[in-house]
Structure 1
């Protein structure tokens, strides 16, 4: 978090006399010292703010917080919010390299305040050299040359967030001459573009964008009656997408402004809607907490 090794005193930045490590002993955070843990994470965030890189969330050094996840979520949220004011900060701790479903958990959602803590879960192993810099390097583990298989293909076909995990040591830290991990990642990016050249099913997103959307969805409230959808959105995000099933849709408006109808998924952007079979997708940027969507359907 601050050192990746020894836990330090956040006031003096000197290692504790016990010489405990962030990624080992602090896998179980001291839940009886909440103020200390918040101060510790906040200090890490302040370092980034001081060099012009305000964080939207935190990444865990190794096992940090992994055995006290609920407490970690609370402390990380308070710390990031204290330093940056972010309403929905996130933290990254877990990796799920198997299975077709990858959750984006939301912790401590407060509809009244419009605050929550999102958790980003990586969905791949690190096949770009790993934390040693000398681990496996294999682009095929992500997506094969024929574009038909690999972990990312599994996730994309299952319509799940495909969050990659890597370490700088594998990218170029230990391999500055050949940059093996970095070149493997470049291959992955190229293959993904070849598989979906129009960006119909894959779009690059920051971790904070993924977790912000999850927080929005978790706290959104919807009422539907007579072709009108009333949304209450404590958290608002760009490109909010509604999925409407059933009749043919003739027109959609958001707060009185008509959305443009387009014919393909590739053309979908905020302010537009498109249809596939009996499903209609409407995309827009909500400007206020309460949003009125009017849908005209039928022939």
Structure 2
């Protein structure tokens, strides 16, 4: 018998990342206004962005209604979509999530927090997208500086990084949201990823006592995606995971007025687009979109693109045996367990009362897993083992006949192989199979 770690429940992870989302305000409007004031004075060497001069820019909405967020979140919940939703804690410096937005009615923030916790959080990780997603903040005074998080802090100063990220995490914790990770605003930290990821880990330990955070920094719609792990301390159960998006924002763009195209994700015949190629390789398939593009100034264009993409993904996987929607943190924890657990296939343990050399033909085979990285739905292929009974730490798993019915706490026999799935706990797990 041999043991191989498979994708969770033999399905390829799907996940939806939402960037630039924050309570009450439309981040894009304030970001653009600040950029238009900042660039000519501080970085005249930078060429004008393609959106500068567009007559729609000064007409953009200052807010994105909580009613839209509720409709969007409820639909995602009904569809089983999971992923990551940014919750920028001091968006564009317009107000802190733990203090309110002076230019907007106070009840709007309360409504947003209620909606976020009750409807979004069950299906999406909530993360800061650093503090403002525009200007860098002097965290001693909480005032805006002339630097930008995604410009100068593309190559950030290392010394203040941990405190800066910890401040963003703390603002969310102040409103009852201990985050599982962070989102990079633009290219924040990209030039010093080793130091940046270490700062994320240190901040997560300090603020939330979280030894296994994740972060979203990279989007690559050409190369195969991966889940790199940084700063691993295997014996302590410590690591930080980088979640890569494999598809660009083809919903409605961060501007909120550039139209997307569902065919770039997956075509109507289910053959073209980025997603089928990634899914065929059984690699984590993480989509990325920006919140203003889903709202699209009330037209909900990006939301409709998402509905089309979801309908096509359902047609691609009609019996739900190929794909599994997961939060970013769930993917991170699974990959940590997959790569950092010790798995040994040992000889059978003799039944009580048997003598050495007197091994009955029904004697069980054993797999032992030792890990500091727990995860849900840990899935193993036990090769050359057609089991009639499987036990995990002495508890029987339920046998199922098809992949459609394969769930955590079950085992499935296909030919000469047995697949098992169960919650992997920290410590030692023993699997026994009976032929």
TM tier relative to shorter chain: over 0.9
Aligned length: 289
Q: 1:28 aligned to 2:155?
A: yes
SS at match of 1:108: strand
**Contact persistence 1:137–1:181 (CA under 8 A):** yes
SS at match of 2:297: coil
The offset of 1:136, in angstroms, is: 4.2
Name structure 2 gaps, 5 residues minimum. Answer: 1-129, 348-364
**Contact persistence 2:410–2:420 (CA under 8 A):** yes
Distance (Å, rounded) in 2 between the aligned partners of 1:276 and 1:98:
34
Distance (Å, rounded) in 2 between the aligned partners of 1:94 and 1:260:
40
Distance (Å, rounded) in 1 between the aligned partners of 2:414 and 2:260:
39
In the alignment, which residue of structure 2 is the partner of 1:232? 370
More RCO (CA 8 Å, sep 6+): 2
* Structure-to-structure mapping, 1:37-116, within 5 angstroms: 37-99=161-223, 101-116=224-239
SS at match of 1:222: strand
In the alignment, which residue of structure 2 is the partner of 1:144? 267
Distance (Å, rounded) in 1 between the aligned partners of 2:409 and 2:272:
34
In the alignment, which residue of structure 2 is the partner of 1:243? 381
Distance (Å, rounded) in 2 between the aligned partners of 1:64 and 1:147:
35
**Contact persistence 2:401–2:412 (CA under 8 A):** yes
Distance (Å, rounded) in 1 between the aligned partners of 2:423 and 2:317:
25
In the alignment, which residue of structure 1 is the partner of 2:323? 202
Distance (Å, rounded) in 2 between the aligned partners of 1:116 and 1:262:
34
The offset of 1:217, in angstroms, is: 1.6
Give CA-to-partner distance per residue, 1:148-176, whole Å, 9 cap, x none.
2221111111101110111012111xx23
**Contact persistence 1:109–1:215 (CA under 8 A):** no
The offset of 1:256, in angstroms, is: 1.1
**Contact persistence 1:127–1:135 (CA under 8 A):** no
In the alignment, which residue of structure 2 is the partner of 1:193? 314
The offset of 1:277, in angstroms, is: 3.7
* Structure-to-structure mapping, 1:141-290, within 5 angstroms: 141-172=264-295, 175-226=296-347, 227-290=365-428
**Contact persistence 2:393–2:429 (CA under 8 A):** yes
**Contact persistence 2:256–2:297 (CA under 8 A):** no
Give CA-to-partner distance per residue, 1:75-124, whole Å, 9 cap, x none.
0111122111122100110011113x311011111122111101100010
TM-score by length of 2: 0.64
Distance (Å, rounded) in 1 between the aligned partners of 2:418 and 2:255:
47
Distance (Å, rounded) in 2 between the aligned partners of 1:9 and 1:40:
9
**Contact persistence 2:372–2:427 (CA under 8 A):** yes
SS at match of 1:290: strand
Give CA-to-partner distance per residue, 1:197-247, whole Å, 9 cap, x none.
321111110000000111112220111112211110101111111112224
Larger fraction in helix: 2
In the alignment, which residue of structure 1 is the partner of 2:59? none
**Contact persistence 1:133–1:169 (CA under 8 A):** yes
Q: 1:15 aligned to 2:144?
A: yes
C-alpha root-mean-square deviation of aligned residues, in Å? 1.4
Larger Rg computed on CA atoms: 2
Name structure 1 gaps, 5 residues minimum. Answer: none
**Contact persistence 1:106–1:218 (CA under 8 A):** no
Distance (Å, rounded) in 1 between the aligned partners of 2:266 and 2:415:
29
SS at match of 2:148: coil
The offset of 1:286, in angstroms, is: 2.8
SS at match of 2:333: helix
The offset of 1:279, in angstroms, is: 3.4
